[in-house]
Chains A and B, each alone.
Chain A
Amino acid sequence: MSNPISHAFKKAKKENRPALLTYTVAGDNSKKQSLEILKSISKKVDIIEIGVPHNTPVADGSQIQTSSYRAIKNGIKVNDIFKIVKNFKKFDRNKPVILMGYYNMIFRYGENEFLKNCKISGVNGLIVVDLPWPENKKFASKCKKRSIFFIQLLSPTTTQKRLKKIIKDSHEMIYFISMLSTTGGKLKVSSKEILSNYYKIKKINSKKNVVIGFGITEKTIKSLKKADGLVVGSAICKEITNSIKKRQNPVTNVYNVVNRLRNKIK
């Protein structure tokens, strides 16, 4: 059975553009509203990433932290997240969904139980920020058995030797962290440098779909459009925070941001 994530990349490639991936935190700013946001942006997005909020997020900058704390304060639980995915899939059956979070949430829930519920609700891929290779080998193979992609992360600090090993163990999609930063940092390296690292990865295995994330905003997205896919997270979380501050509707505001992002990589 093919994974809809692969299909999404194929489609984007046919249209000669990178796939657009968006990250929003489940339950931000409420369970209902976060589902509404997903529904509204679905048409403009190729792959939906949903953050599983954790209250000790060591790799996230202030924007995603704010969204996560807000969602937890509003009472989001792991089971609610599976419900959100399930309801979203009822609305847009073929849109791939990736959950992104920290390992303790999966560990506490139980790896097998977590994956079982991923399968039932329609999750297609997982990114676990603090479960690096080789620690993730066992869990990644459990994912594979259930045809869920375990998405390996690569960083500018990953050595060439390590790159090769991780890519060998990776599934069809890989996430490249653009720079040394937490999420939402200002892009502090040139797009040229990011792409040169990106091509190092593609050279090892050109068949893998490699997405670039961290520091991607409306300003920077165009310069990286040669990549297989681009992830925007903090910029969207920030929009939700600003909407709440200005007492505006986050659903419309987020849609507008995503629409503009999409237009920039057409």
Chain B
Amino acid sequence: MAKTPSDVPVEPGMPQLDFTTFPNQMFWLFVTIVAIYFVLSKIALPRISAVLSDRQDTIEHDIARAEELKQLAEDAETSYNKALADARIEANNIVNNTKLEMKAELARKIADADLQIADRAKESEQKLNNIKAKAKSSILDVANEIAIDIVSKVSPGHIDEKLIIESVNQKVTE
């Protein structure tokens, strides 16, 4: 539009209705449309379509890969948890077993100790009985001597010692 109105003869009306220019416009429009159509259908559109589907494929592939990795991570977590649970159970078992063993050991030891205590008690009882028996005989001896002395002092002469001992024994055992 470099030309000023004074340079160009001004035609009245709309240039759109100047039919002398129609063949020119139609011709160049035809050329243009054909050119654009070939550029688009032969080069641009297949290329863009390929790029878009490539991208779609890549995204889908990446998502699938991520899914896979996620699955792996989940598997690892489950096996870890399983191992943890197993270890816990084992630890519990060990603790329980140990407890049982210790209980059994304790019971055995207690039983041993009871036996020993019973032995000792028997022994002591025996000793006590011996001492008791000894004491009894010595008491008897002392009593006999005293009785003989008393009898000999009361009635000097013949003393029937056997009789005295007999009667003393009788009295003491009563």
Q: Are A and B bound to each other? A: no
